[in-house]
Structure 1
Amino acid sequence: MNPGAAVRGGILTVTLNAALDVTYHVPALTPGAAHRVSRVDERAGGKGVNVARLLHTLGAPVVATGLAGGAGGARIRSLLAEEGVPEAFVPIEAESRRTLVVAEPDSATGFWEPGPAVTRQEWHAFRTRFTDLVRGAAAVVLSGSLPVGVPVDAYHALITAARRDSVWTVLDSSGEALRHGLSAGPDLVKPNVDELADLLGCPPPRPATALQAVRTLDAPAVVASFGPDGLLAVTGEGAWRAYVPEPVAGNPTGAGDACVAALTSGLVRQRPWPERLAEAVALSAAAVRAPVAGSVDLSDYRRLRRDVIVKEI
């Protein structure tokens, strides 16, 4: 694709540690036992790829970029093409990783490979492509872990570059990559409860007790996800909790990516915060009900949207 053309005015997603997602469906997972797999699903994956797919499903203009290498990287790109999701991945020599999920009817167990080693030249090539792609975009989503060879302050550098072009930035990562990225002042940060605890240096909090701690994070808006307990949002316009009254059973892999997709869509459309949060909770819950990460049934999403409770705190 012509760098930047398809993303102009839309959303760019960045997945530096893209993956080929494989999901095995079994009636029940028993450690130490042999299992007969009823179905195998294979999809392009990685957090930013899931966000791009969900935004595409919602009808938002989006381009997925990142690093992809070897036969796995080629398969990731071909799968995105089959789904009609525009991509501008930068090729690398090493093989992109695979992720394996063993999905039971009401739960899932994941196995994540560490990812490829990226050379200094490949990282420089990505930085150059990113500069072209982000110019003219409305927002950029930076998601997931960093592969070996990518600097730990990669998200800080990319957020800084995006801000020079007045592009909104959304960060969803963990550990030192999240900490360094946060120091660049992204417009929105979306940690889960464990990532939040790591940032704050405390045990995993509950939504009811996390408000003051979240206020200490240096970002214009923080939306923390607490799994079945919903979302806690602290923004310059107020603070809210959003949740569905009854827990949703299924495969939680990709629910956080659905949350990011909905929040980014609401950011670009400048929707009121309560509306953004309701859509994020509903899309996340619909993703839990979906059989594989990065997908939703839109009729499920619309039904769940009516049940979401949003309370100002």
Structure 2
Amino acid sequence: MILTVTPNTALDVTYTVDGVDWDGVNRVRVVHRRAGGKGVNVARVLAALGEDVVVAGFGGGLTGAAIEADLSAAALPTALTRIRDESRTTVAITTAPQTPPTTAGPPSPGPGEAPASLGPGETRASPRPGEAHGSPGPERSHASPGPGEARGSRDTPAPAPRTALFNEPGPEVTPEELGRFMATFQDLAARADAVVLAGSLPRGVPLDLYATLAQGARDLGVPVIVDCDGAPLRLAPAGRPSILKPNAAELAGALSPGSPPSGGVAAALAGAEALRRAGGEAVVVSMGQDGLVAVTGEGSWRARMPYAVPGNPTGAGDALVAGLARGLVRQTPWPERLRAAAALGAAAAATPVAGDVDLRIYRAVRDEIGVEPCPS
């Protein structure tokens, strides 16, 4: 069993719209409501792959009850600690063409086309460079332009999909509620094959919570993956996690708070090595169009997609973490583990809602992802 911990669970609401008019009324074309948060999304992907999971975290108020009900409907075992305060709601607004393009398989790259993003953070709220455009939509039924219409405008492709996220801060957790959660975690971790600690922290919870939980699991001999940012990421290495999984921006923010991130593979490798020296056994950094890098005790590698997979990047990093967790439990070699994780990230980007993966795309691209050693 893989235990996923989401301290700041959420009810995720995704609106799909044709465009956003910030000064007018917007009509929502499609609405998705489901339990979310990074660890919940990881659990959904693992369950889709046939893994046994348990979802832990906090849940409060009517929103918390809705989260539990949705997880139950999805047949995901839960052990949420009930709290007095209301759990948060997150809103994602995604612009997408009404008629998505259809292809028999993953698209081949055109000249100069950038590979797909393998992680979420660096493009959480904007399209990735080089992403394929959506369908231009239906044409006019007549060949001639109407009065004042520019000739040929009907052939203009629709803009690439864009996603904006709105995250509430989360509930306030009391010391008594935190104590009950810690007892639940200790019991579940003792029965787990691996633990995933993911996402932001609610108010009232110490910033070193992930370090404490990671250390507790490691004391039980259970490997741990941590996916977070900010102060929790800076403090997490003290708990000796098996894998830390930031994206490039999160890594830069943890190492040099307030400084502009320095991009590139060399910067990611150097930052990952710094987190390893601080206590993490391995560090995997997602870098958008540059793929991902892993720095481990067995060596360093880089994985890259051979072509772009357009879509919604929200949840791609969570799917990537699910692949890492599965590989950790199965003790697969690092190159194979990274290849599967990257393929799951691409398969998640091809779906409209975080927590879903297109297994057809996962199987199609997995063996085509290039993994190469990085010089030490």
What letter is aligned with 2:83? I
**Rounded Cα–Cα distance in structure 1 between residues aligned with 2:262 and 2:179:** 37
Give the percent of matched residue pairs that are identical in Structure 1 and Structure 2: 50
The answer to whether the 8 Å contact 1:232/1:240 transfers is yes
Once superposed, what is the RMSD of the aligned Cα atoms? Answer: 1.2
Q: Which of 205, 211, 233 is 2:263 aligned to? A: 205
Correspondences of 1:229-268 after superposition (within 5 Å): 229-268=290-329
The answer to whether the 8 Å contact 2:248/2:268 transfers is no
| Partner SS, residue 22 of structure 1 | strand
User: Relative CO higher for 1 or 2, CA cutoff 8 Å, sep ≥ 6?
Assistant: 2
Q: Which of 79, 82, 102 is 2:73 aligned to? A: 82
Deviation at 1:213, TM superposition (A): 3.2
Number of residue equivalences: 304
Q: Which of 285, 289, 297 is 1:224 aligned to? A: 285
What letter is aligned with 2:200? S
The answer to whether the 8 Å contact 2:234/2:255 transfers is no
Deviation at 1:279, TM superposition (A): 0.7
The answer to whether the 8 Å contact 1:107/1:249 transfers is no
Q: Could you tell which deviates more after superposition, 176-185 or 264-273?
A: 176-185
Residue in 1 that maps onto 2:193: 138
Instruction: Give 5+ residue unaligned stretches, structure 2.
Output: 97-160
Deviation at 1:93, TM superposition (A): 0.7
The answer to whether the 8 Å contact 1:196/1:204 transfers is no
Q: Which of 86, 90, 112 is 1:95 aligned to? A: 86
Residue in 1 that maps onto 2:337: 276
Change (3 A) 1:120 1:209: closer
Is 2:29 the partner of 1:34? Answer: no
Residue in 1 that maps onto 2:49: 58
Is 2:221 the partner of 1:166? Answer: yes
Residue in 2 that maps onto 1:178: 233
Residue in 2 that maps onto 1:7: none
| Partner SS, residue 234 of structure 2 | helix
Residue in 1 that maps onto 2:351: 290
Is 2:36 the partner of 1:71? Answer: no
The answer to whether the 8 Å contact 1:136/1:165 transfers is no
The one-character-per-residue Cα deviations of 1:136-156 (angstroms, maximum 9, x if unpaired) are 211100001110101111111
**Rounded Cα–Cα distance in structure 1 between residues aligned with 2:205 and 2:85:** 13
Deviation at 1:209, TM superposition (A): 3.8
The answer to whether the 8 Å contact 2:196/2:225 transfers is yes
Query: Rg larger in 1 or in 2?
Result: 2
Instruction: Give 5+ residue unaligned stretches, structure 1.
Output: 1-9
| Partner SS, residue 342 of structure 2 | helix
Deviation at 1:208, TM superposition (A): 4.1
Deviation at 1:309, TM superposition (A): 1.2
Correspondences of 1:5-20 after superposition (within 5 Å): 10-20=1-11
Deviation at 1:27, TM superposition (A): 1.5
Change (3 A) 1:305 1:72: same
Normalising by structure 2, we get a TM-score of 0.79
| Partner SS, residue 240 of structure 1 | strand
Residue in 2 that maps onto 1:21: 12
| Partner SS, residue 89 of structure 1 | strand
The answer to whether the 8 Å contact 2:268/2:285 transfers is no
Residue in 2 that maps onto 1:4: none
